[in-house]
Amino acid sequence: MKRWGLLALAVMLVVAIAACGKKESASGGKVYKFGTDAAYSPMELMDKDKVVGFDADFLDAVMKQAELNYTLVNTGWDPMLESVKQGTEYDGGISSVSITDERKQTYDYTIPYFESTNVIMSKKGSGIKSAEDIKDKTVAVQNATTADIIMSKIMGKDNAKLKRFETNTLAFSEMEKNGADVVVADIAIVGEYLKQHPDKELESVKDPENFPSEYYGILLPKGSELKAKLDPAIKAVLENGKYKEIYKKWIGEEPNIDNVLNAKP
């Protein structure tokens, strides 16, 4: 009786698994998996156990436009870059990833979807006007970001005064503890931090000469079949009014959509 009971249980388990497989297929086939670093408010952050923010809403709009199923997982920055490069566990990454010539050697990108620039966050009255004014100061950046790349060129890659952190949150914390004179990061992230901390007497400084406009794209493994599906969906979301709605919700102003549509990074 025991042997027959175990056999019956095994048969039922196989049937249940098969049924689940049929259900997943019936609901639309493959589920694409995206990674993000949800420590980059307002672009991506955690709300309890859910990733929210500009990128989360934008990805949702794009995937609905493309009629594709997906999940979005908080992986952290470096694990996201590595997992997308390998192309095994994750099909893509969306985490305010700037399109650069260096990264294009390793990854594919969708067309651009967001215009950004790096800025300097400093104390009010510091007299800082440009990146040249901070090359001898202690600068905090997030590791492997364009802020890191630019400041490495200005200060020297191995300069002990250039402090790299896993997240911008840690970089901001280092400045709060007087362990850094300034933070260099994307304008949306610095803007959100200033908005959340009006009592800290801080300001952001733009430097178009050293920090030109850069554009975010969805990161994909080399040769990904997703690019052909996502590019037209992104263009549609940019043009149909949904993008403006998401931008106003998270950034609080009107986007320059023409710059994004015409960008050739």
Residue 28 Cα to chain centre, angstroms: 26
Q: Angle at the Cα of 32 (from 27 to 33), degrees rounded to 5?
A: 130
> Whole-angstrom Cα distance, residue 132 to residue 240?
41
Q: How confident is the model at residue 192 (pLDDT cuts 50, 70, 90)?
A: very high
Q: What is the pTM of this model?
A: 0.78
Average pLDDT, the chain: 90
DSSP state of 256: -
At 111-168, the pLDDT tens digits run: 999 999 999 999 999 999 999 999 999 999 999 999 999 999 999 999 999 999 999 9
For the sheet containing 139-142, what is the strand order?
A: 162-165, 139-142, 182-186, 118-123, 202-205
pLDDT at 28: 61
Q: Which domains does the chain have, with CATH numbers?
A: 30-115+215-262 (3.40.190.10), 118-205 (3.40.190.10)
> Whole-angstrom Cα distance, residue 21 to residue 6?
23
The label of the residue with tokens 């790096």 reads: 118
Beta carbons of 198 and 80 less than 8 angstroms apart: no
> Whole-angstrom Cα distance, residue 15 to residue 18?
5
Question: Rg for the chain (alpha carbons), in Å?
Answer: 22
Mean pLDDT of 75-103: 95
Q: How confident is the model at residue 63 (pLDDT cuts 50, 70, 90)?
A: very high
